[in-house]
Amino acid sequence: MSTLRALALQFRTPRRGRGFWYSVAIDVIWPLMALVTRLRFRGADKLPKTGGVVLVSNHLSFADPVTLTAYTLAAGRIPRYLAKASLWRIPLVGRVLNGGHHIAVERNTAQARHAYLGAVKAIESGECVIFFPEAGFSDDEDFWPSRRVKSGVARVALETGAPVVPVVNWGTHRLLPTTAKFPRLFPRKTVDIIAGDPVDLSDLVGTERETIDAATKRIMQAVTDLLATLRAETPPTR
């Protein structure tokens, strides 16, 4: 979409429920993102307009939460994220995360279950929660989803019964590579984001390890397949 259209889109997104500091961050970052990138959003109709929903994304860059937030808001939903708890100890970042009702993850501790319970509660309250199952950036040299993923998204999906919608992004790794300290603004980068059909988990019920593993594989296969479709339709760029 054009820069003007991207800027105008900001004023049509939902504001109630963002929280003050989360809203401020969006209002500051959105215009900058619209100026330095070409955004191409598709498949927003796949996201339910109301009710709890699980969004599952690949992870390529620190820029992913920014572009995914814009995409989700443009679809009429306010995204909540699971993020490492240490970010809450950064003063301004902590205010944004608290204001946005995001969910802290204490990795590799006994408190990690609190994030699971927080995600379940948020979804059962009708929220839209975004998961990065890779729990880090893609470790594949061609930027396909990592083979090692966390099973939390499958556990939450099976517990809540909420729709699980794959959402993939492509281009953020060129805008802000994981090894870069600053965005690469020139030439102007294109960021594509598309959502797919909800993943059918209706035949999987329970908390057995085999069930959770099967749900995790099915979810990640949907993400990988959608990314393959997106990449096949996206002309090669620098």
Rounded-to-integer distance, Cα 58 and Cα 137, Å = 8
Question: What length is written for the chain?
Answer: 238
Q: Please report whether residue 170 resides in a domain.
A: yes
DSSP character string of 138-182 = --STT-PPPS---SHHHHHHHHH---EEEEEEESHHHHS-TT-SS
141 vs 113 pLDDT, higher one: 141
Count CB-CB contacts under 10 A for residue 58: 28
Domain count of the chain?
1
Q: Please report whether residue 64 resides in a domain.
A: yes
Tens-digit pLDDT profile for residues 80-135: 999 889 999 998 999 999 999 999 988 766 667 889 899 999 999 999 999 999 97
> 186-206 burial, b if ≥16 CB within 10 A, otherwise e?
eeebbbbbbbbebbebeebee
CATH number for position 131: 3.40.1130.10
DSSP element (H, E) containing 8? helix 3-10
Q: Please report whether residue 158 resides in a domain.
A: yes
Over range 73-79, report the average pLDDT. 97
Cβ within 8 Å of residue 171, ≥6 positions away: 37, 189, 190, 191, 192, 234, 237
Give the percent of the chain with pLDDT over 90: 84
Q: Please report whether residue 104 resides in a domain.
A: yes
- CB-facing half-sphere around the CA of 228: CA atoms within 13 A: 6
What pLDDT, on a 0 to 100 scale, did the predictor assign at position 206?
81
Q: Which of 38-47, 64-73, 97-106, 188-197 has the lowest mean pLDDT?
A: 97-106
Q: Let me know how many helices (H) and strands (E) the chain has, helices first.
A: 8, 7
Q: Please report whether residue 187 resides in a domain.
A: yes
- CB-facing half-sphere around the CA of 12: CA atoms within 13 A: 9
Rounded-to-integer distance, Cα 68 and Cα 56, Å = 11
Q: Please report whether residue 99 resides in a domain.
A: yes
Whole-model pTM: value is 0.93
Structural domain span for residue 67:
3-233
Q: Please report whether residue 205 resides in a domain.
A: yes
Q: Please report whether residue 238 resides in a domain.
A: no
Give the 3-state secondary structure percentages of the chain, helix then strand then coil, rounded to 5.
45, 15, 40
Residue 98's nearest CA partner among 24, 26, 19 is 19
What pLDDT, on a 0 to 100 scale, did the predictor assign at position 114?
86
Tens-digit pLDDT profile for residues 171-212: 999 999 999 989 999 899 999 999 999 999 999 988 899 999
What pLDDT, on a 0 to 100 scale, did the predictor assign at position 237?
56
